[in-house]
Amino acid sequence: MNLAILGATGSIGSSTLDVVARHRDRYQVFALSAQNSAEALLALCRVHRPRYAVLAGLRPDAKLAADFRSHGTELLFGAEALEQVATDSRCDVAMAAIVGAAGLASTLAAARAGKRVLLANKEALVMAGPLLMRAAREGAATIVPVDSEHNAVFQCLSDAKAVRRIVLTASGGPFRAAPLESLDAVTPAQACAHPTWVMGRKISVDSATMMNKGLEVIEARWLFDLPAAAIEVVIHPQSIVHSLVEYVDGSLIAQLSNPDMRVPIAYALGYPERIASGAQPLDLTAMKQLTFERPDERRFPCLRLAYRALERGGTAPALLNAANEVAVDAFLAGRLPFTSIARVIADTLEAVPAAEASDLGAVMAADREARRAAAACVLAVAA
Ligand code: NAD
Ligand code: MG
């Protein structure tokens, strides 16, 4: 199988390459992409020898292209090249592992082209859930979720008609038990120090605010075609139970493993077969306890904002996503206090009315408008 990894230099990208390297007989790396880290991408190309590499954030550069060519890889430049490699007739599988709205166009293109789409880029579904699911149906694409919770639900689904609800687990992040009044002063380094997972910076901050779980509720709504009322969130600090499905007979089915993204990635790569992931097996008797608690809405206001955007529908989730990306960037750059992330998102949703999300143009227009409004909110909070 020929595989394109969009976002190859990131956390999901490197875990994917780790699994692929264990199964050279099954998977050939067809294309690898990064935003602009040419050095890191070249290092991956030396090992994995893809036909194409893409630097999505750079203009054409002859010297760079020659460096890649000397390793047998053709280097492409610009965001359009992501769609080119993901839809190439020789590519079978696209791992959508770009972070944020930047991953939407290539994910949508891969779905439309009927590829198997391994979906880590949850923001694509948050922004354009109905459009992406329709593109997959019309293109006869298979979307296999990589996000650990959705991958767990996918694994636990035996009779979709008989599902009563799904339960998404959340670790609660690094500030689950911190005094509420201490949250104003937390630093990006503290927010990115996740207790159970090692991830990219944006999703780490999302986990600390629990916006990550809010985005995942929206993601689940479209992936599994369930109403918001049938999607519940519980905090499970050990990150061993990755999510659960409850059926009409009262059975709850869960998927358990050590918190290692290679498990859902290997499942998505091998589906419907199972392949080795390299993850440590779970030692049940070494586990002291598995606990579950309800999220505290005062500590995690972003969760409610996400449910509200989902209820509002149309472009509201795209507005929520864009405002969150702007607020998280500002927090990571030291321009916004941690506790103001939710404020910026709420103010943006107040300032920009949601519209119909009839096509990609409408979604991208909402994204742009929300980014402008959110940037103004960040300045207002900082003033
Ligand atoms: P990361 O920051 O580690 O990597 C992001 C990748 O995307 C990099 O290769 C980067 O070069 C590329 N990229 C960034 N901006 C880009 C742009 N504008 N254009 C093109 N490429 C760009 O992120 P990550 O933690 O690997 O997360 C990737 C996606 O997977 C996110 O949507 C995240 O929510 C999701 N996800 C991650 C994890 C995890 O454990 N890391 C778990 C579940 C879901
Ligand atoms: Mg997740």
Asked whether 24 and 1 are in contact (CB, 8 A), the reply is no
Q: Is the CB of 78 under 6 A from ligand 1?
A: no
Question: Nearest bound ligand to CA 35?
Answer: 1
Question: Nearest bound ligand to CA 204?
Answer: 1
Cis peptide before 130 (omega within 30 of 0): no
At 199, which amino acid appears? M
CATH 3.40.50.720 spans which residues of the chain?
Answer: 2-145
Assigned CATH topology for domain 313-383: Rna Polymerase Sigma Factor; Chain: A (1.10.1740)
CATH 1.10.1740.10 spans which residues of the chain?
Answer: 313-383
Q: How many angstroms is it from 143 CA to the middle of ligand 1?
A: 18
Which atom of ligand 1 approaches the CA of 33 most closely? 9
Closest residue by Cα to atom 20, ligand 1, is: 35
Write the CATH number of the domain with boundaries 2-145.
3.40.50.720
Ligand 1 mutation pick, 5, 199, 218, max ligand atoms within 8 A of CB? 199
Q: How many angstroms is it from 14 CA to the middle of ligand 1?
A: 10
Encoded tokens for 334: 């030291």
Question: Nearest bound ligand to CA 57?
Answer: 1
d(CA 8, CA 348): 32
Instruction: Return per-residue pLDDT of the chain as tens, 383 residues.
Output: 999 999 999 999 999 999 999 999 999 999 999 999 999 999 999 999 999 999 999 999 999 999 999 999 999 999 999 999 999 999 999 999 999 999 999 999 999 999 999 999 999 999 999 999 999 999 999 999 999 999 999 999 999 999 999 999 999 999 999 999 999 999 999 999 999 989 999 999 999 999 999 999 999 999 999 999 999 999 999 999 999 999 999 999 999 999 999 999 999 999 999 999 999 999 999 998 999 999 999 999 999 999 999 999 999 999 999 999 999 999 999 999 999 999 999 999 999 999 999 999 999 999 999 999 999 999 999 88
Closest residue by Cα to atom 5, ligand 1, is: 10
CA 44: distance to chain centroid?
A: 22
Q: How many angstroms is it from 349 CA to the middle of ligand 2?
A: 24
